[in-house]
Structure 1
Amino acid sequence: MQDFAHFADVCFRSFGDRVKYWVTINEPNHLADFGYLRGTYAPGRCSAPFGNCSQGNSEVEPLIVMHNMILSHAKATEIYRNNYKAKQGGSIGVIIHAFMYEPFSDNEVDVEAAARAFAFNVAWVLDPLVHGDYPREMRYYLGPQLPNFSAGEANQMKRSIDFIGVNHYSTLYAKDCIYSNCESGGYAIEGFVFTTGERNGVLIGEPTANPRFYVVPTGMEKIIEYFKRRYNNMPMFVTENGMSQISTPNENVNELLNDYKRIEFHKSYLSSLARAIKDGADVRGYFAWSFMDNFEWQCGYSFRFGLHYVDYTTLKRTPKLSVSWYRNFLTENITYMNQEGITRNHHPNKKYKNRKYIDVE
């Protein structure tokens, strides 16, 4: 924690005159899950039945790692607010990888399972940083296995973020594994929940290159509503949202460049986001993932999320069709909604006070 605090202090001191939005840790829930529960990300620690690693304890280490990341974030925030914020005027937050979870069935146990899925994946990070402790569901099911915060640590953590970054790609079903039989997964560390994108042989949405990422646009509105409700409508940024294509040695470049499905993906997800904003969600920004095809974690160059095609041999970048659409969306196809809910066309450079810009197509 002290090393992280020192690193953060160096960054604030060196770049704070130019950086106004600080993110301490990107997707800490993802790191704890894949780095220490399943062992597929660095440092590759896990234990059976979650993975086959040379070292690790999947039932314990993810909880310890998350605990240390939360305390590290809180310390960095304290340093920034005490020593830099008054002069630099910036904000500090954290980014969460957030699936939307739908109950596998209408049964009460699956409805509760969906709530636990949120608690064990999203609220695991954000509840301590907003409310000062882990979710009650985690305390109930994990008991003394879940680390405790001292009174001083709780005070330091509480309200230690100015905004929430939301990385949202897809929606999954959540199935209860306490009262129901689950074919795999659903252990205590996972909240006794099994998550899947398939129900009765039918996928929850159109599949993409990533086997867990399905196209379910309504999930954007719902996940933003969840954050709005649980965290008192704290300012939010959608920091990642996008669709992947398969990349192969013999790929058809023209098909990748004419990425109509990516355009439809962003149109539908942005429309869903617009509905959330119209309903009062304090969303301050949206970032498409990604500007260009890049190295995607352990998947390497096998997935293409970019708006620009990258030739991995020459590194030449070529705009995909989605670039033209996104440019037009940002510069020509903007409407504003005034406080009475009336929409009008306007030039994007013209300023309107107390109005939020949204796409209503």
Structure 2
Amino acid sequence: MEPKDRERESNGSDFVSHHHHFSGSSFSGRCSNVYSRKDFPEGFAFGAGASAYQWEGAVNEDGRKPSVWDTLVHSRNISNGDITCDGYHKYKEDVQLMVETGLNAFRFSISWSRLIPNGRGHVNPKGLQFYKNFIQQLVNHGIEPHVTLYHDDHPQSIEDEYGGWLNRRMIKDFTAYADVCFREFGSNVKFWTTINEANIFSVGGYSNGLTPPGRCSPPGCSSGNSSTEPYIVGHNLLLAHATVSRLYKQKYKDIQGGSVGISVYTLAFKPSTSSKDDELALQRAKAFYFGWILGPLTFGDYPDEMKTAVGSRLPVFSEEESEQVKGSSDFIGIMQYIAATVTNMKSKPSRPDFDSDIGASITCTPMKQDLQDTPRIEYLQAYIGAVLKSIRNGSNTRGYFVWSFMDVFELLTGYDYSFGLYYVNFSDPHRKRSPKLSAQWYSAFLKGNTTYLGSQGIAQLQSNFSSSS
């Protein structure tokens, strides 16, 4: 899930956004109370999401140049986002689907490689016009754009020139890119996320090498250092976020009235046993996954658990940097995907990396998919009910975004798993979109036609879906 905020402004990280991605895991916070959309605060954002590389396609069109994502998938000869949903050409059709679904918000990212193909300097006029057109299309249909500036896809030229996020030069170039986005799109965009899942990007790209730019210690990768690079990158991401946030507040906020936040990948952790060792491992996992980003944003420094485990490999904030990072997010996007069990690791591998620094093994639940995705509806019901309960208990949550609006190219699984509300036929040159059962449920909920559905309600929806298919 994920959300965004309206009207009220926060001077810290009190606006929490949820972005939900169903993976077939059970949800322990099942909510049995009946509820409807009317129970949520006025202006609450109900949306869905996608990202540039995963949805747009058209990677070689209209001046776009390769990003690190293009390079990674093609160098490994795996499935890619060259065409994917072809959102670049089908965005008007997709906005119409959003309207029909009942969304009042949509979360998406801008491709740095499409807007500023060389990473700095020249702005691509066709890329600029595409995003202006898409954003205007959303606004014209009453859908609030929630824009992510960075979703794992910086220009390859920057990576080649100085190593991308491993180099502090990246902060300057990223800030200049953000400045263009604020200037060109800010009149229609009030919610900006600087970095998508800053924690998992650092781990995936620089500790295990599974995601762009695909670095880790040899022999797993051709180049990298899993013991240091994730922490260097995480540090630079936080400094870049804080710098961009400060830029917005100083240059644009009084005129545009928007807010700037960051998103964090989260897991529903639980210890594998009730032993003290596993309980301590659970606390370390939370510190490394959540506290790594949220600690500096809230307190200006990393959690003690990380300092102890990582030692001198963990970068240090100067006093000035600490003050700059602390309180730099108007909201936090909480990306909740799957559940995981945590088991204490009795011995550490000889080569340290992010996982071994935690001193625990983390086992995630398997993923499932289906066009008639009844389990997903049950999960959506439970999670939205839990969000409502948290609001009633005082949470300042402002929105909920389902990942993803339609099937897209997925980061780790390509097209093997699909999490969209809408099915996309990737074998069809026209990339036909078809609603899944969950899309029908979500739409009915958003339009106020249903409240919390019990098993009978789901069975009826299932029957209606089968007869209309």
Q: Highest relative contact order (Cα 8 Å, sep 6+), 1 or 2? A: 2
Asked if 1:43 corresponds to 2:213, the answer is yes
Asked if 1:126 corresponds to 2:313, the answer is no
Question: In the TM superposition, what is the alpha-carbon distance from 1:11 to its structure 2 partner?
Answer: 0.9
Contact 1:186/1:194, CA 8 A, preserved across alignment: no
Gap change, CA 1:182 and 1:69, over 3 Å in 2 = closer
Asked if 1:208 corresponds to 2:376, the answer is no
TM-score, length basis structure 1:
0.73
Q: Distance in 1 between matches of 2:325 and 2:450?
A: 39
For 2:422, which of 304, 308, 319 is the aligned residue? Answer: 308
User: What is the 5 A alignment of 1:320-339?
Assistant: 320-332=436-448
Q: Which amino acid aligns with 2:386?
A: S
State the partner residue of 1:271. 385
State the partner residue of 1:31. 201
Question: In the TM superposition, what is the alpha-carbon distance from 1:83 to its structure 2 partner?
Answer: 0.7
Q: Distance in 1 between matches of 2:269 and 2:350?
A: 18
Gap change, CA 1:325 and 1:271, over 3 Å in 2 = same
Q: Distance in 2 between matches of 1:46 and 1:186?
A: 11
Contact 2:193/2:263, CA 8 A, preserved across alignment: yes
What is the percent sequence identity of the aligned residues? 44
Q: Distance in 1 between matches of 2:357 and 2:405?
A: 33
Q: Which amino acid aligns with 1:274?
A: L
State the partner residue of 1:318. 434
For 2:408, which of 294, 301, 310 is the aligned residue? Answer: 294
Question: In the TM superposition, what is the alpha-carbon distance from 1:317 to its structure 2 partner?
Answer: 0.6
State the partner residue of 1:14. 184
Contact 1:292/1:309, CA 8 A, preserved across alignment: yes
Q: Distance in 1 between matches of 2:232 and 2:443?
A: 44
Gap change, CA 1:182 and 1:68, over 3 Å in 2 = closer
State the partner residue of 1:260. 374
Q: Which amino acid aligns with 1:208?
A: M
Q: Distance in 2 between matches of 1:55 and 1:182?
A: 22
Q: Which amino acid aligns with 1:132?
A: G
State the partner residue of 2:363. 196
Q: Which amino acid aligns with 1:147?
A: P
Secondary structure in structure 2 of the residue aligned to 1:287:
strand
Query: Which runs of 4 or more aligned residues in structure 1 lie more than 6 Å from their structure 2 counterparts after TM superposition?
Result: 182-186
Q: Distance in 2 between matches of 1:283 and 1:292?
A: 24
Secondary structure in structure 1 of the residue aligned to 2:402:
coil
Q: C-alpha offsets along residues 43-71 of structure 1, whole Å, 9 cap, x if unaligned?
A: 111115xx611101100111111111111
User: What is the 5 A alignment of 1:157-172?
Assistant: 157-172=325-340
Q: Distance in 1 between matches of 2:449 and 2:299?
A: 39
Q: Distance in 2 between matches of 1:186 and 1:325?
A: 46
For 1:75, which of 226, 235, 243 is the aligned residue? Answer: 243
Q: What residue ranges of structure 1 are gaps of 5+ in the alignment?
A: 198-204, 210-244, 246-255, 336-361
Q: Which amino acid aligns with 1:98?
A: T
Gap change, CA 1:309 and 1:181, over 3 Å in 2 = same
Q: Distance in 2 between matches of 1:56 and 1:260?
A: 42
TM-score, length basis structure 2:
0.56
Question: In the TM superposition, what is the alpha-carbon distance from 1:146 to its structure 2 partner?
Answer: 0.6
Question: In the TM superposition, what is the alpha-carbon distance from 1:273 to its structure 2 partner?
Answer: 2.3
Gap change, CA 1:185 and 1:27, over 3 Å in 2 = farther
Q: Which amino acid aligns with 1:65?
A: V
Q: Distance in 2 between matches of 1:20 and 1:326?
A: 25
Q: Distance in 2 between matches of 1:137 and 1:115?
A: 8
Q: Which amino acid aligns with 1:133?
A: D
For 1:103, which of 251, 271, 285 is the aligned residue? Answer: 271
Q: Distance in 2 between matches of 1:142 and 1:104?
A: 24
State the partner residue of 2:282. 114
Gap change, CA 1:106 and 1:334, over 3 Å in 2 = same
Contact 2:373/2:437, CA 8 A, preserved across alignment: yes
Q: Which amino acid aligns with 2:436?
A: K
Gap change, CA 1:149 and 1:186, over 3 Å in 2 = closer
Contact 1:293/1:310, CA 8 A, preserved across alignment: yes
For 1:150, which of 298, 309, 318 is the aligned residue? Answer: 318
Contact 1:185/1:194, CA 8 A, preserved across alignment: no
Q: Distance in 2 between matches of 1:174 and 1:125?
A: 20
CA RMSD of aligned residues (A): 2.1
Gap change, CA 1:160 and 1:334, over 3 Å in 2 = farther
Question: In the TM superposition, what is the alpha-carbon distance from 1:187 to its structure 2 partner?
Answer: 5.8
